Amino acid sequence: MAAATAPAVAETAAPASPFKFGAFFDLRFTRLSVHNNATVPNANAESGFGLEDAAFYANYDRDRVSAVLDIAFRRSKDSDINSSATVPNQSSNGNFAIGFDKSQAYLKYRVTPAFIVNFGQFDTIYGVELNDSKDRVFGKTGLVYDLTLPVTHAGAMLEYSTSGAYAKAFAANPNNKGSYGSSTAGDDKTELGVALGYSNEYIRSQVGYMSRPIRKANASGMGSRSLLDATLGTTLGAFTLDLEFSQVSDANKNTLSSTNNNDQEKSGVGYLALATYRVLEPLLLGVRYEEIRHDPSNASLESGKAKGVSVHYRLAPELELRSEFVDYRFVNVSKASWNDSRFNFAAVFTF
């Protein structure tokens, strides 16, 4: 008689861990060239080798609850220690600045599959260019990102999505401040923002608005500082195109005509066009054109233009080489003009 066969033991997969970890490093060589720019006393302060952008990620996701931790770090700059540093982007040592600029820490609760509540500090919901350089076509953020948009929000946000359409609404601390604090401009009130959008595999669009109370430039009472941001993009096979319009209105702005506190100054505006073409699976080409007008960032700039080209080549799933060149032309409110240019070469490692 044949021996009895032992009963098969059912194999059960181990439950997936709710934790996920990751990181990226953007190691870069930069060359900044400056011509007649009085606002940059030492272009070499931004030139050379450095860790230009990096982050560690930790995520928890189980059932309806998610937690996101995103700790950004980069080379330390003099401005991290002294906001009024003569050469703010100079790195006088080999230290890292940890947690500056754009870190995140927030909770997400899915009330329903379509309705989500967020609470904590999270990336801005506005703009074409994202905060981490690994997610952008250009490693160096553009004029619209730098001069018109917020970077993060510390507060609470509601999200609702259905069939590609979505709506977001948040209340947050003013101007990315960690607490209300104090402000001689009365800039210590809660910021409110909304965004409505739609996306599918071919097209994406969003219109957003954000506002907070702020003291008027003539100190006669309270006005508002507001942002209107609209984006439109398409993906057609290997080609993508994204357009953005941004407008910043500020009742406290007094840089276009500094001797007159009683005028209603023009709203600052920004325009962006960003296109990419994937020549081969590992090879991506990108171009970007931008304009800003009427000093959207209170930096005494009447206008600015920037034209750039970027090349990406992926050596491996986790390693990409990138290079870019950007040419800048500026005019300040005193009608002085200058031009700068920036070249960089980067190795971006992601896991």
CATH code where residue 184 lies: 2.40.160.10
Q: Answer whether residue 13 is part of any domain.
A: no
39 pLDDT exceeds 80? Answer: no
Q: Answer whether residue 345 is part of any domain.
A: yes
For residue 1, what pLDDT band results from cuts at 50, 70 and 90?
very low
Q: Answer whether residue 64 is part of any domain.
A: no
Least confident of 8-17, 111-120, 305-314: 8-17
Q: Answer whether residue 309 is part of any domain.
A: yes
Compute the distance between CA of residue 98 and CA of residue 112 in angstroms, rounded to an integer: 35
Instruction: Return the structure tokens found at 315.
Output: 């050596």
Q: Answer whether residue 213 is part of any domain.
A: yes
Question: Which of these, 55, 71, 146, lies nearest to 106 by C-alpha position?
Answer: 71
Let me know: does 275 contact 307? Beta carbons within 8 Å.
no
How large a percentage of the chain has pLDDT more than 90? Answer: 76
Q: What is the residue type of 124?
A: T
Q: Answer whether residue 30 is part of any domain.
A: no
For the chain, the average pLDDT equals 92
Compute the distance between CA of residue 145 and CA of residue 136 in angstroms, rounded to an integer: 12
For residue 17, what pLDDT band results from cuts at 50, 70 and 90?
very high
Continuous segment of H or E residues that includes residue 78: helix 78-81
Average pLDDT over residues 80-91: 84
Strand-strand pairing, 165-172 and 152-162: antiparallel
pLDDT of residue 6: 54
pLDDT of residue 56: 97
pLDDT digits (tens, 9 = 90+) for 214-234: 999 998 899 999 999 999 999
183 pLDDT exceeds 80? Answer: no
Residues spanned by the domain of 244: 107-350
pLDDT digits (tens, 9 = 90+) for 62-79: 999 999 999 999 999 888
Comparing 4 with 208, the larger pLDDT belongs to 208
CA distances from 73 to 102, 133, 201, 284, 322 (A): 9, 12, 33, 26, 20
The domain total for the chain is: 1
Average pLDDT over residues 149-159: 97
pLDDT of residue 10: 57
Least confident of 1-10, 88-97, 138-147: 1-10
Compute the distance between CA of residue 334 and CA of residue 190 in angstroms, rounded to an integer: 34
Average pLDDT over residues 89-100: 88
pLDDT digits (tens, 9 = 90+) for 122-146: 999 999 999 999 999 999 999 999 9
CB neighbourhood size of 143 (10 A): 24
pLDDT of residue 46: 83
Q: Answer whether residue 332 is part of any domain.
A: yes
Whole-model pTM: value is 0.92
pLDDT of residue 35: 82
Residues in a beta bridge with 33: 341
Q: Answer whether residue 52 is part of any domain.
A: no
pLDDT of residue 85: 83
**Residues in the chain, how many?**
351
For residue 178, what pLDDT band results from cuts at 50, 70 and 90?
confident
CA distances from 132 to 34, 119, 176, 229 (A): 26, 21, 17, 20
pLDDT digits (tens, 9 = 90+) for 237-271: 999 999 999 999 999 999 998 888 888 899 999 99
| C-alpha atoms less than 13 angstroms from C-alpha of 271 in its C-beta half-sphere | 8
